[in-house]
Amino acid sequence: MDATSRASDKLTIMKLLTALADADTGGLREALAEHCHEDAVFEVFHPFNTLRGIGEAADGFFEPLKASFPDYEHRLGLCIADVYEGRNVVSTLGHLMGTWSEQWLGIPATHGLTFVRFGLNAVMEEGKVAKAYILFDAVDVMRQAGRYPFRAMPGSAEQWPLPPIDTGATALGHDGDLGGRTLRIVREMQGSLGSGSDLADHVLTVDHSPHWHTNMNWYGPAGIGSTRGQRGFDDYHGALFIQAFPDRTGFPRVPGGPEEAPGHYIQAGDGRFAVTGGWPSLHGTHSGGQWLGMPPTGRRIEMRVADWYRVDEDDKLIDNWVLIDVLHMLAQMGYDVLDDLTFMVDPRKPRWIA
């Protein structure tokens, strides 16, 4: 693998994020054009979904974001690169932070400092972004505005810690050999998860993959929250998720198939970090009522998910940051969270329209 090319791709993503943060309102298209192909596709969390071309992406997503958080900056936790299915890929994770000055997604602004968890996975062609997958924790933004829509989170609602110092989470280099080993550990762990009754037995016995550290940290999106330790993961996420989606399983990836197909569009390892993600990557029947407190709908639900991992010096998985397109999942269940919010923001809005 060409470490220089991988490092260059990472630097391009860093420059893109810096340009987007530094641009004034009305200047987002120019910032995108410098680092993205004109016809780049942006797969963005619900309700934005697919935006084609930098013009549509600027007008539909980036300009409204800038209008709501005009002074925002990105605080990145990691930036990694690899080659997957013949494509050059880059992944980054962190917080977008800034003063929330105007409503965003219909959520009333707080006019104070706000943290937005985000992850971006990009496909690179000829040194520029050809496709980008963007996940934000929109429900956590609702929580910070005092508009949290679900039952109390089982896990911690606190903001995610980013990787410890000196763990190699940098955009200035690339370690493909160590990254390959990290990714193999992640894939072995994922391959041992099983499904259905196997997962239920796993929760009952607290029998984790040997790759997990005893004091593993699992950082989940708002609605689920974060947990520590294998028992914490089971009690506050694993058991509840399995009960809600007992037949949950991943989409098999067809070798040589299209990049936009279900299943992992990215698998990347770089140093002690790795990422996997699909759009969607999982599916299951919502037949239990434990997830977010939602009653079972009996519907088949697809899940857009990305997981970022860190292994320690003993090759144990110790950190797992997880972003899920929660609003997209709920839309499939028949619950439009943002539409429901409009009635809370404006109680005068009629709920019945003749």
DSSP codes joined into one string, 235-268: IIIIHHHHHHSTT-EEPPPPTT--TTSSSEEEEE
Report yes or no: 46 and 133 within 8 Å, Cβ to Cβ.
no
In single-letter form, the type of residue at position 303 comes to M
Q: DSSP labels for 134-174?
A: EEE-HHHHHHHTT---SSPPSSB-SPPPPPPTTS---SS--
Residue 215 sits at φ, ψ, to 5 deg, of -100, 40
pLDDT value of position 202: 54
pLDDT value of position 168: 86
Give residue-wise pLDDT tens across range 43-54: 999 999 999 999
pLDDT value of position 170: 81
> Which of 206, 211, 261, 214 has its CA nearest to residue 234?
206
pLDDT value of position 67: 98
pLDDT value of position 83: 97
Which helix (H) or strand (E) segment is 37 a member of? strand 36-44
Report yes or no: 337 and 190 within 8 Å, Cβ to Cβ.
no
What angle is formed at CA 259 by the lines to CA 191 and CA 222, rounded to 5 degrees?
Answer: 60
- C-alpha of 87 from chain center: 20
> Which of 181, 186, 176 has its CA nearest to residue 209?
186
SS3 52: strand
Residue 78 has which token pair?
Answer: 């990691």
Residue 96 has which token pair?
Answer: 């977008």
Report yes or no: 276 and 266 within 8 Å, Cβ to Cβ.
yes
DSSP label at 107?
Answer: B
Positions in the chain short of pLDDT 70: 1, 194-208, 354
Residue 7 has which token pair?
Answer: 């490092």
Report yes or no: 45 and 29 within 8 Å, Cβ to Cβ.
no
Give residue-wise pLDDT tens across range 112-150: 999 999 999 999 999 999 999 999 999 999 999 999 999
Residues 137-164 as b or e (16 or more Cβ within 10 Å = b): bbbbbbbbbebbbbeebbbbbeebebbe
Residue 21 has which token pair?
Answer: 């943060």
DSSP label at 331?
Answer: H
Residues 92-127 as b or e (16 or more Cβ within 10 Å = b): bbbbbbbebbeebbbbbeeeeebbbbbbbbbbbeee
Q: Name residue, tokens 């690339």.
A: 174
Angle, helices 28-35 vs 3-22, to 10°: value is 170
Residue 295 sits at φ, ψ, to 5 deg, of -65, 150
Pairing of strands 87-99, 128-136: unpaired
Pairing of strands 212-219, 317-324: parallel
